[in-house]
Structure 1
Amino acid sequence: MLGFVALFGVVGQSGCAPYQFGNAALFPPGIRTVHVPIVRDTTFRHDLGVQLTEALVREIELRTPYKVTADPMADTILRCEVVGETKRVLTETTEDYPRALDAAVQVRASWTNRSGQLLLNNSIVPTDDLTILFSQDERFVPEAGQSVDTAMQQAIEDLASRIVSQMETRW
């Protein structure tokens, strides 16, 4: 019986070494740390960059095997920039008050390793551009107590989730 246990231990250690289990199998191996600098924001709503940075850090820590670090010499760097935000009226009341609106945020993202190799790939349209443009719309209804701030926060959280999803290894 002892021989069987020893043989099983040797086979178990050598046969499964290259495999990853759990959510680690979804992400590129050999990466331990990600540096996420404060997201640049070129819009008039300057709080969006900080909100996106916080949401990205939360998503990376929650969904990936990576550790977010403040060290710019981390294994990889995820750079983002908020390049646009809009709000448009979808429907109005008979008195011309907005009834339903859309809030939208556009973000450019780039994930590279220390040598500058692009790790974030556009799975739909491969390009030579080092950044990928993400856009997210959220509908809100002021009459129901919703505000542009809550819609923008939801858009930011959805964007962070989508950006982290793009960090997964392609099949």
Structure 2
Amino acid sequence: MVFLSGCESGGHFTLLGYSTAPPIHEGIRTVYVPIAANTTYLIGIEQILTRAVVQEIGASGYRVTSDRNRADSELVMKVVANRKNTIILNQLAENRQAEIGIQIEVVWRDLRKDHEGNILSNPKGFDPKEKPLPGEPRAQAPQAIPLIVTPTATFTPEVGGSNQSAYQLAVNRAARQIVNMMEVWR
């Protein structure tokens, strides 16, 4: 039986596609998470979202800091839309089952001194030391392209479900998805 193995950069061992490298960005240890912005009529959803994301980040291996000046990165979120759809009506045209959804814009910025201007959530990283090709202008720091997260949740009022419980479930799903994407962005 032959095993194919090798070493990746950083000295991590790889065997048959599995790696000992941590799932988080190795150069980033701390994340600053300001309270999310909210452009919808949902009062307080920004605090609930921020609290859920901070809890998920704390469980992922990163450390959340309250001081932007001491952080390696910043995770900026904005709740931009929400919706509620009726899925099933009963015989009296009352809501039997409904679905809610929120739309969140997410941008993860690198705040380290040697990586200024790098947007970690953008597809390609920015290297200020990269020299342009002859005849091309010097590369500028990229604009942040917000990533859209759209979690949904359903609830049934007849058995005690409410808008608030559905929004809490959607926010928890969004927090989990945002932190999972932070692992992919490394």
Partner of 1:95: 92
Query: Is the alpha carbon distance of 1:56 and 1:120 closer, same or farther for their aligned partners in structure 2, counting shifts above 3 Å?
Result: same
Q: Against the structure 1 CA distance between its residues 134 and 23, is the aligned structure 2 distance closer, same or farther, given a 3 Å change threshold? A: farther
Deviation, 1:94, is 1.1
How far apart, CA to CA, are the structure 2 residues paired with 1:90 and 1:80? 29
Among residues 143, 160, 165, which one is paired with 2:158 in the alignment?
143
CA contact under 8 A between 2:32 and 2:68: conserved in structure 1?
yes
TM-score norm. by structure 2 comes to 0.74
Offset of residue 18 of structure 1: 3.2
Deviations 1:80-131 (Å, cap 9, x if unpaired)? 0000111111111111101010010110000010113111256xxxxx7521
User: Any stretches of 5+ residues in structure 1 without a counterpart?
Assistant: 1-16, 123-127
Pick from 71, 76, 97 the counterpart of residue 67 of structure 2. 71
Residue in 2 that maps onto 1:58: 55
Distance across 2 between alignment mates of 1:50 and 1:23: 36
From the superposition, tell whether residues 136 and 23 of structure 1 become closer, same or farther in structure 2 (CA, over 3 Å).
farther
CA distance in 2 between counterparts of 1:95 and 1:45 reads 28
Aligned to 1:163: 178
Q: Deviations over 1:25-70 (max 9, x none)?
A: 111111111000000111111211000000000000012x211001
Percent of pairs with identical residues: 31
**In structure 1, distance between residues paired with 2:20 and 2:162:** 35
Give the secondary structure class of the aligned counterpart of 1:168: helix
In structure 2, the gaps of 5 or more residues are 1-9, 14-18, 124-142
Q: Within 5 Å, which residues of 2 pair with 1:15-164?
A: 18-19=11-12, 25-63=22-60, 65-73=61-69, 74-114=71-111, 115-121=116-122, 130-164=145-179
Distance in 2, Cα, partners of 1:112 & 1:160: 17
TM-score after normalising by structure 1: 0.80
Q: CA RMSD in A?
A: 2.2
Q: What amino acid sits opposite 1:131 in the alignment?
A: P
CA distance in 2 between counterparts of 1:23 and 1:60 reads 20
Contact residue 35 and residue 76 of structure 1 kept, 8 A: yes
Is the 2:12–2:20 contact (alpha carbons within 8 Å) kept by the matching residues of 1? Answer: no
